[in-house]
Amino acid sequence: MAPTTIGIILNGATGRICSTQHLANALAPIRDEGRLPAGGDRIVPNLILVGRNAEKLAAIAKSYGAEWSTDVDAVLADPAYTVFFDAAATAQRQGVLERAIAAGKHIYSEKPVALTSAKGLELMRAIDAKGVRHGAVEDKLYLPGLQKLSRLAASDFFGRVVGFRIEFGWWVFDGTEVPCQRPSWNYRKRDGGGLILDMYPHWRYVIEGLLGPIRRVVTSLSTATPERIDERGERYTVDVEDSAATLLEMESGATGTILSSWATRVRRDDLLTVQIDGTQGSALAGLHKCWTVSNAQTPRTAHFSIATDLGIDYRTHWTEVTDGGPARNPYRVGWEDFLRHIATGSPMKADFAAGIRDVQFAEACYRSMKDRTWIDLAPRS
């Protein structure tokens, strides 16, 4: 197989998600293994890391054998790089994607692909006008636990799905006693922060990928921690939500709930759990594991006792799904799909339009809170 080299610009390369998942766990291994097939050829990524801090960039570039630059416009002008990937902080995404599209690069973007769906649609029009290829990071459905859940949904295990529940989150320290675990821009509106803009794009493709179209939503959000300490040790005001509760109605008639919070302490099976209940059985997935209970295994609960704890461990009725399949890094799956799409035109489910629908879902939840009402989601085009 002949090598097809694809030059990729990684913007925001020193950031948490770009340096760990996209570079270390996806692109560097794809390049080093050198055998990603595409048609009759094999794809070999050629990477240039872009950011603002030369020292940090040089260090990361050295460990991964990549080029680096702090001059994004100079890199955009270089025809050796045909793909532009943005994983820098959310607020400056629009401007940098506009420049990359104008330079004729294929576009791959972290979520959220834009701050609003209107802005996302502007980008989509520019992408279409240039005729470049496009994709959005939609990694969570490729988590091993959710892959098992997807297979169950595809196999009719559930019968008619009647409901689902997503629970997500953990305690994020405010920085006074224990350093905060997340960048401070996550908690400032002007920087693209907020739990809904951050996490709800994921919940959109997870829910619709598993269960089909969402009909409408109603959301309540709140800010549990109104002040935090930033990376420089300075106190700042949090002006975005850090907790949200959403009720959803699906086109199928099923209803679901999402509870997401940076102000909760974990006492559930995993940091993220997704439960689906159907007429034939239920399943619950965490990040890695998945458990099922069929009608035959379901206890015939008839009462509870106010006087005595019945001492039942309800989890014992559930069976762990062992059909794992090989665990693959979810970000790598996305990159392999996108690189094949560029090289051969193979279908790209997680395209920029999907990324815009992810933003539309987040937007509908914000609007629901503002207007204190249910919001219909536009039908999927």
Ligand X SMILES: NC(=O)c1ccc[n+]([C@@H]2O[C@H](COP(=O)([O-])OP(=O)(O)OC[C@H]3O[C@@H](n4cnc5c(N)ncnc54)[C@H](O)[C@@H]3O)[C@@H](O)[C@H]2O)c1
Residues of this chain that interact with ligand X (CB under 6 A) are 12, 14-18, 51-52, 87-90, 92, 110-111, 137, 139, 183, 198
Q: How far is the CB of 94 from ligand X (least distance, A)?
A: 12
Residue closer to ligand X (CB basis): 42 or 56: 56
Nearest CA to 314 out of 285, 289, 290, 293 is that of 293
Nearest CA to 23 out of 73, 74, 54, 57 is that of 57
Residue closer to ligand X (CB basis): 29 or 163: 29
The tokens for 286 are 């965490």
Neighbours of 160 (CB within 10 A): 11
The tokens for 119 are 């802005």
Q: How far is the CB of 77 from ligand X (least distance, A)?
A: 18
Give the integer Cα–Cα distance in Å for 161 and 254.
Answer: 6
Residue closer to ligand X (CB basis): 218 or 221: 221
- Matching residue, tokens 């400032």: 188
- Per the DSSP assignment, residues forming a β-bridge with 276 are 164, 283
Residue closer to ligand X (CB basis): 138 or 277: 138
Q: Judging by beta carbons within 10 Å of its beta carbon (0-12, 13-18, 19+), is residue 325 exposed, middle or buried?
A: exposed
Residue closer to ligand X (CB basis): 7 or 112: 112
Q: How far is the CB of 13 from ligand X (least distance, A)?
A: 7
Residue closer to ligand X (CB basis): 108 or 157: 108
- Per the DSSP assignment, residues forming a β-bridge with 167 are 259, 273
Q: How far is the CB of 190 from ligand X (least distance, A)?
A: 11
What CA–CA distances, in Å, run from 25 to 20, 83, 125, 323, 376?
6, 18, 32, 24, 38
Q: How far is the CB of 73 from ligand X (least distance, A)?
A: 13
* 359 contacts 124 by C-beta, under 8 angstroms: no
Q: How far is the CB of 113 from ligand X (least distance, A)?
A: 9
Q: Give the residue closest to ligand X by C-beta.
A: 15
Residue closer to ligand X (CB basis): 14 or 273: 14
Residue closer to ligand X (CB basis): 68 or 318: 68
Residue closer to ligand X (CB basis): 82 or 94: 94
